[in-house]
Structure 1
Amino acid sequence: MTELDARIAGAVSNNVDVANALAGLDRLAVFAAIDTWARPVLQQALCTVNRFDAENMAVIRLYSSDPVSYPPGGSKQKRGMPWGEHVLVQRRIYVGEGADAIRTSFDDHTAILGLGLQSVINVPVVVGDVCLGTVNFLMREPRIQDAHVNFARLAAYMAAPGFLA
């Protein structure tokens, strides 16, 4: 068993805080519990959760593990942006590895890179046929393994009740 496999097994068996947060349906508690639960596996330095405003093709931040750098309530316009088409419209996970991927995909790349973040997994959360938003995990390591992407997908979908609360 690899170190990553062991971290995944530990997280899967230790999901009590996430289950309790989901039972209470407190939006922020759900997002914070998922962020905490995913950290041993993904080792993210920043986790944000954004609601998708389809009418305005924008995302509005509901949760941030770093509210000073990325405060809740902040929004980003995604109309005409390749990232928005890929994640919000086509509803596909985006994996960005390295500083060039960050620069190419995000207007706020200077702030992201300034925090020492070098990779990202953005997971659209889709219920029925509606994209509710995204859960975003940003890491200091420049490379992401397939197991990280699969785990991020699971963690993000656990956040769906938080979007609906």
Structure 2
Amino acid sequence: MAVLAASERLCDALHRCNDPAAALGHVEAARLALLGAGLLTVNVDATKPGDPPGEIHLMRAWTSNALAYPVGGRKRKLRTPWTEQLLVRGEVFIGEGEAALGAVFDDAALIASLGLRSVINVPLLDGGLTRATFNVLGPRPHWQAHEVAAVRLLALVARPFILRLASVLESAD
């Protein structure tokens, strides 16, 4: 019943929502109801044509924890198996355990200090290219199949709002 109630609340809230940030707040409330403690961030591709080849620039467009991960934070990523999977091929990445997070994220110590031990990164594609990522971190060391499915569905529901937010940020740059 909790899944149904959270889904109904999210649908009702998003039905008339025009503000991308407010919509993501509703998505975070559903994430919290469905998965419990954790972190949701959204990064948009901020790579510019003049950036060095092989570099991908990301900018945080939304976060559920602005103290640890403020909106506007930027990351420069080089080509790695993680960037190839998530950002180039547009495939979901699941990282479980501190070793997996440490191998992928420069801020693994901060992630661990927040009690987070696993991540699901969902690429949001537009025209076949990854325009943004929907990132859920949790305290559990392993994700269950239904949790991965829930995160992917939340990302899909959030996609139009995130792409609109990405367009706004892109035009402001």
Residue 130 of structure 1 and its aligned partner are, at CA, apart by 2.6
**Number of the residue aligned with 1:136:** 135
- Tell me which residue corresponds to 1:47: 40
Counterpart check, 1:32 vs 2:28: no
> Is contact 2:88–2:129 with CA below 8 Å preserved after alignment?
no
- Partner of residue 80, structure 2: 81
Seen in structure 2, the aligned counterparts of structure 1 residues 18 and 93 have a Cα distance that, compared at 3 Å, is: same
Deviation at 1:81? 2.5
Q: Do 2:90 and 2:129's aligned partners in 1 also have CA atoms closer than 8 Å?
A: no
Per-residue deviation at 1:152?
Answer: 0.8
Question: How high is the TM-score relative to the length of structure 1?
Answer: 0.87
Paired with 2:28 and 2:109, the residues of 1 have a C-alpha distance of 23
Root mean square deviation, CA, Å: 1.6
Structure 1 runs (4+) deviating above 4 angstroms are none
Greater CA drift, 10-19 or 105-114: 10-19
Distance 2:47 2:150 in 1: 26
Question: Which residue does 1:3 correspond to in 2?
Answer: none
Q: Mark the runs of 5 or more structure 2 residues left unpaired by the alignment.
A: 166-173
Conserved in 1, the CA contact under 8 Å of 2:37 and 2:139?
Answer: yes
Range moving further from structure 2, 65-74 or 144-153 = 144-153
Identity of aligned residues (%): 32
Count of residue correspondences: 157
Distance 2:70 2:140 in 1: 23
Partner Cα distance (2:16, 2:37) in 1: 22
Distance (whole Å) between structure 2 residues aligned to residue 20 and residue 90 of structure 1: 33
For structure 1, list consecutive stretches of 5 or more residues without a partner in the other structure. Answer: 1-5
Asked whether the 8 Å contact 1:44–1:137 carries over to 2, the reply is: no
Question: Contact 1:49/1:62 (CA < 8 Å) preserved in 2?
Answer: yes
* TM-score normalised by L of structure 2: 0.83
Q: CA deviation at 1:95?
A: 0.7
Give secondary structure in 2 for the equivalent of 1:142: coil
Cα deviation for residue 123 of structure 1 reads 0.4
CA distance in 1, matches of 2:65, 2:87: 23
Which letter does structure 1 place at the counterpart of 2:6? A
Distance 1:90 1:7 in 2: 34
Distance change in 2, residues 1:20/1:37 (3 Å): farther
